Amino acid sequence: MRPPERPPSTFDRQAEKLSAKLAESTTRTSFLGRLGAAALAIAGGSVVAAAVKPDDADAFHLCGHIWTTGSCPSPYPPLARIDRKGYPLHPRSGRPIDNLGRLVDSSGYALDGNGNRLRGPDGKVVARAPRTRICEDWTREVKGLKDLRVQGSWFRCCGGQIRKLVDCCSFSRRRINGDASLTGYCWRGRRVYCVMYYDTGLPC
Amino acid sequence: MLETFTPAVCGSRKRQMLAQVVFAAAAVATSAALGLALGLAGGLLGARHAVLAAAALALVAAAREAGLLRFPLPQARRQVPESWRFELPLPVWAGGYGAGLGAGFFTFQPVSTFWVACAGALALGRPLAAAVCLSLYGAGRAAMIVWPRRRADDATAAVERLATRRGALLRANVVALVACAVLLAVAPSASAGLVARPGFDPSVSARTIAFSTQAGEVVVRPPSGAGAVFPNASQPALSGEYLAYVDGQGIRVVRWRNGSQVARIANPSASRPALDWPNLAFVYRDPSRKRLIVRNLSTGRTRRPAKVSLSADLGRPSLRDGRLAWHVVTRRWSGIYVRTLATRGVRTIARTRIGRLTNPSVCRRRVIWVDERSGVTRLRAGSVRSRRSRVLTSVRSRSVSYWTTSLSTRRAYLTRWSLGSGAAEIHSRRV
């Protein structure tokens, strides 16, 4: 089967086409694919999940990652959990965090243990810290690569919910591990530099 | 070694002296190089707590030398290659012997003091200082081929005299190691002193410090004599006899000794003053922007070196020696900037997309700032002329961080605070 054409922009359209093909296939459980796509369309906006096997996936250093490329730099290494736009999330709770690893509210202000905005020694609310994308900003600054793009992705069942594993791709022939990089799901000459993941919360 | 550097072995008295000089130079240079490497490694590792580990090691070594503990020392139980004396020219074998003994690793270690010295060099974290300190080991090695023979030409007799004093030397070594342990243990508190608890927002001028308290006061503490307390005040900025602070009506500038007012910025939108008399810098918030303003309180001349949007953080500036430093933090990046007021030149000292750089302080050509990352906060020091920096101190914690800073010619002051309780205290460190 010819691999689907990968659009040069968002990975969402790629996942949408893949999920549509799998849902239509007589060898796949199309019900789960349609149900997942519909649920994600409601809950997540533009991301459409592919049909996946209901049992948990094998893992390299995180569930669902069956290859060997390391995770991208993040506020909580070695796990690089992201939201659908590539911004960091707390690896356990899945809540938004800033670049200092602090839980933040919808406006980006850090929160204390009681869920209130964090106040400094002067009693005033602490100014917001930067919150930047794991692939394009974090990895770029830590590793000095300027051509990083989020490209390919794939889906696995992990912990009873669908996990989307995302490639952060670069033209570099070395990946974050230090050895030769793999093509993975990257395209137009890029290769997988590091990986991140997004937990959809959809049951599988 | 004493019996090697003799006129008979070297060939003549003149050649003996040459050999001794070459040996000494090589021993000192090798020891210094070892110290340099250890100091560099310690600085890179951030060996702040290694000072305490070195103190503990000194105590253990003292116990070993006193016969209370027994354990083998890492060493090469070898003599210097005797064949070198017959195969190599005198300067080469003398230098080789000196380098081998100066390094310490390649020969027999009768006592454990050498390893304590290495641990101390690592904990020092300063390459040049460690090189100087450890070069004394090489100087000691060199002295031992000359000094014991000062009263007699017979090298064998000199060696035998040394051997009779072994017991006294070992006891003196124990005392020296215990003294090292004590000095190393108190060193961290000596260099990183607690200045005020509770307290935050330090501002230093000469040896006088002003700071805020959580009771809503500004305290001025001179090195001697009576200080001053200003109630309902915050964000102090000290410059000699003048103090600027924020109160409910804006910024007030007073002579801190008697409290007499010399200037006033009567606008509650003005805050975060920095004072280098007669220049006052502050942050002013108008409906559309936050602006950094520098006003000469004598002439009234006003400059506006920076502005940011309301959503960004324009930080507490620092003004000293004609230089202004400030930070900018947005949702996408943060940076530290220094501007020379006379030339209008702005230099980016540091910038990042993944951390938060805040609260710089400038003094002469030095600038310090707080570098916060996920799980670690560092106090960095650099030059106003380059982007290179080094770490003065750091804390690896998600519940403790650094806040505001101040810089004098010799010491950096920083606020260390607990994110959980909000409690803050001021520490100082040698720069």
Q: Mark residue A173 as left, alpha or beta (left: phi above 0; alpha: psi -120 to 50; beta: remaining).
A: alpha
Domain boundaries, chain A: 11-75+134-203
Same domain, B148 and B179: yes
Domain boundary among B190, B208, B227: B190
| For chain A, percent of residues with pLDDT exceeding 70 | 70
Q: Are residues B209 and B306 in the same domain?
A: yes
Q: pLDDT tens-digit profile of B332-354? A: 999 999 999 988 889 999 999 99
Residues B184 and B282 in one domain: no
pLDDT in tens, B96-133: 888 888 888 777 777 788 888 888 777 766 677 788 88
- Name the domain count of chain B: 2
pLDDT at B288 over 70: yes
Radius of gyration of chain A (CA): 18
Tell me, yes or no, whether B2 lies in a domain.
no
**B45 within a domain of the structure (yes/no):** yes
Pairing of strands B389-395, B376-383: antiparallel
- The DSSP annotation for chain A comes to -PPPPPPSS-HHHHHHHHHHHHHH-TTS-HHHHHHHHHHHHHHTSS--PPP--SSPPPBSSSBT--S-PPBPP-SSTT--BB-TTS-BB-TTT--BB-TTS-BB-TTS-BB-TTSSBPB-TTSSBPPPPP---IIIIIIHHHH--S--EEEEEEEEEETTEEEEEEEEEES-SB-TTSSB-B-TT--TT-EEEEEEEEEEEEE-
By CB neighbour count within 10 A (0-12 exposed, 13-18 middle, 19+ buried), where does A107 fall? exposed
Is residue B374 a part of any domain in this protein? yes
ipTM: 0.72
In this structure, the answer to whether residues B133 and B235 fall within a common structural domain is no
Q: Which of B334, B374, B397, B427 to mutate to test the interface with A (most CBs of A within 10 A)?
A: B374
Q: B147 vs B270, which has greater pLDDT? A: B270
| CA gap A163, B127 in Å, rounded | 49
**Whether residue B228 is found in the same domain as residue B143:** no
Do B161 and B270 fall into the same domain?
no
Closest CA–CA distance from residue B405 to any residue of chain A (Å): 13
Q: Please tell me if residue A141 touches chain B, with a CB cutoff of 8 Å.
A: yes
> Which residues of B are less than 8 Å from A122 in CB distance?
200-201, 212, 214, 234-235
- Domain carrying residue B103: 7-190
- B205 in the same domain as B151: no
The residue that leads in pLDDT, B44 or B386, is B386
pLDDT band at residue B49 under the 50/70/90 scheme: low
Beta bridge partners of B377: B372, B395
The residues on B that touch A, with CB distances below 8 Å, are 198, 200-201, 212, 214, 234-235, 313, 329-334, 352-356, 372-375, 398, 403, 415, 417, 419-420, 422-424
Q: Which of B135, B167, B190 finishes a domain?
A: B190
Nearest residue in chain B measured CA to CA from A122: B214
Walk across the sheet containing B356-363 and list its strands: B356-363, B366-373, B376-383, B389-395
Residues B147 and B78 in one domain: yes
Residues B253 and B117 in one domain: no
Phi, psi (rounded to 5 degrees) for B18: -60, -45
Residue pairs between chains A and B whose CB atoms are closer than 8 Å: 82
For residue B405, being part of any structural domain is answered with yes
Q: For A156-198, how does the pLDDT look when each residue is reduced to its tens digit (9 = 90+)?
A: 998 899 999 999 999 999 999 888 988 888 999 999 999 999 9
pTM: 0.65
Who wins on pLDDT, B211 or B167?
B211
Same domain? For B254 and B114 the reply is no
Q: B15 and B135 share a domain?
A: yes
Domain match, B381 and B247 both: yes
**3-state SS assignment for residue B287:** coil
Domain boundary among B190, B225, B241: B190
What residue in A sits closest to B310 (Cα-Cα)?
Answer: A127
Distance CA B160, CA A7 (A): 87
